[in-house]
Structure 1
Amino acid sequence: MEFRQLLTFKKIVELQSFTKAADNLGYSQPTVTSHIHALEKHLGVKLFDRIGRNIVLTDTGNQLIKYVSQITDIYIQIEDMAKDQDITRGKIKIGAPETLTIYRLEPILREYRQTFPQADIVLINDSNAPMYEKLKRGEIDIAFQTAADYEYKDYVAIHLAYESFVLVANADCKIDSLESNPDQLVNECVIYNAKGCIYRLVFEDYLKSKHIVPHNSIELWSIEAIKQGVINGLGISMLPLITMKKDIDEGRLKVVDLHLKSDNVSTQLIYHKNKWLSKSMRVWIEIAKNHSRNWV
C-alpha cells in the first residue's frame, strides 16, 4: 500500500469520479484505476460499487475514508511545519457565504494580502452545512458563518460579532410597523433567501409565531437580487442590517418595525477541532478578530 494510492482514493471520494480525480491529480485514468485495484488487493476488500454511471462507497470504503482523511491531514501538517518558516508563500483556503464575503471579509482579505503579498488565498462561497463537510474533509481551513450561538461537537467556533436583522420594504410601502398589526404581511409578497439561511429561518420563526402565512413569495439566492427586488417594489424581505444600511440611509429602502430579537445570532469563525493550526491560519484568525471589534 502506497501513500499516493490513499491520496487517489481520497480524491475520487471528493470528486465522485475516477475521471475527474485523474484530471485533478495529473494521472491517466488507467493509473487511477490501478491505484484503486492495488489498494483493494492489498486490503482484501472492495472499496467502490458501481450503480449505473455512479460510484458509491462500500461500507468498508466509508470506514477507510475516515482514516485516510486523518492520514492526509497529518501529512499536510508535516508539510505545513516546514512552510511555517516562510508563510509568505503559503496557501490558505477560506469558506464563507456570499453575504459575509461581500460585507465582512474584504478588509480581512486586504490586510492579509498586504501582510503576505505572495501568499495564495482560495475563497469558496457556500452555505453553512456544505462548509461543515468541507472543513471535515480538509477542503477548506477556516469558515465564516452567521448562525445561532451553539457549542459544536467537532468544530471550534470563535464568536466575532452579533448581527442585526431588519425587515425592509420599498420606500413607498405604506406599512411602517407590524408591532400592533402583523397581519398586514399576509397580503405582501415575501422575498426569501435560500432555504436553510439563518435570516430566512429567523423570519420564518417570526411568521410562525404570529400565525402568518403570506399569500405569495419569491425565493432568490443572491443578496443583490433580493435588494434590487425590494427596491423595485417586488416585495419585502428580512436581511442582515449590514447588507441594507446604505440603501436605508439613502432612502431607497425603509425599515418595517417588528421588534424582532435576534441577539443570539452571530458571525463566527470556525475550524475543525482536529485541524492543526498552521501559522498562516493563526495569523488569519488574529486579523479577523481584530477587524470584528469594529463591526457594527
Structure 2
Amino acid sequence: MRYTPDLKWSDVTPKANFLNRRQLMAGAGALALGSIAGPALASIQTAPSSYSTDEEPNSYEDATSYNNFYEFGTGKGDPARYSDNLTTDPWSVKIDGLVDRPGDYDLADLTSGVTMEERIYRFRCVEAWAMVIPWVGFELSQILSRVGVQSSAKYVSFETLVRPEEMPGQRYNTLDWPYREGLRLDEAMHPLTIMATGLYGEELPNQNGAPLRLVVPWKYGFKSIKSIVRITLTSEQPETSWNMANPREYGFYCNVNPEVDHPRWSQATERRIGGFIAKRQPTLMMNGYADQVGSLYAGMDLAKDF
C-alpha cells in the first residue's frame, strides 16, 4: 500500500487510527530510513503534558476556518477555501546543517513510533486574536536529539513548502518565498515547543499546516510555521520571513508581550475568537507561560529583543 502513489493513508486506515498510523511503520519504515538517511531513528515517546491550559477550547470550526496561511491568500478564510488541492502524502523533511545525521526523512519514518499526545494550548498571533486549540503532537526536541545536534549549533531554522501550482498565494510577491522561521536552540528544545500533526483528535487540516507544523505557544502565531519541508541547524541567527519583510515591526523573538506595542497597535489586549462576538481580554505575558519559559530570556531587554 505504501508504494501506491495515488493512495493516501487516510484511504486505507480508519480515522480513529489515522494519527497513530506511523507506529505501524516502525519496522519496515526504520529499514527504509537506514538506506535514505543513515541509521534508523529510535521511537519517540512523550510523557503526559503539564502545560495544558484549563481554558475552554474553541470549536473545531473556529480553528479551521479562521487562519493565517499566506501561501493560500491573505484573507482569514482563504486557507480553508483554497488549500484542498495541497498534496500532503507522501511528504519528506530535509534535516541538514549542524547535525550528525542529515538527510531527507520521509515523514512516516521520521515519526515512526510516535505516541501522539493531545495538548491544549492557547494560540495567539500578532493581529491580537486568540484561540484555544487542542493540538496533537510531540516535542520538537525529540527529533533534534535523534538526528544529533552538534555542539556548534545555536539556532534552528525552518522552511515551508514552495508549490505555487497548489498554493496560489505563492504566485504573488506577498512575501519572499519560501516562508522562513527560526528559533534559538534552547527555545527549540523546550518541552513546550511541539511539532503538531493533528488537532482535536483529527489529522491536521491543510489550512492549519498539514501534515507537519510547529507550535510555539508563548510566541505570536506566525512563528509557528506550517507545512514544514526543511529543518536546518545553524550557528548564526537565521533570517525569518516577517523580519525580512518589515524588521521595524517584526523582530526575531516575537514573544507575546503586552508591555511592548506593535508600532501600529497596542498588544495589551487581544480578541478571543468564538461565538458571535470576538471578546477582548488582557494579553498575558508570554501567553501565560512566563513561569515556564521566562528564564530563557534572563537579562535580555524584551523591548529591544522583540
The TM-score bracket by the shorter chain reads under 0.3
Please give the TM-score of this superposition, normalised by the length of structure 2: 0.22
Largest Rg, 1 or 2: 1
| Structure holding more helix per residue | 1
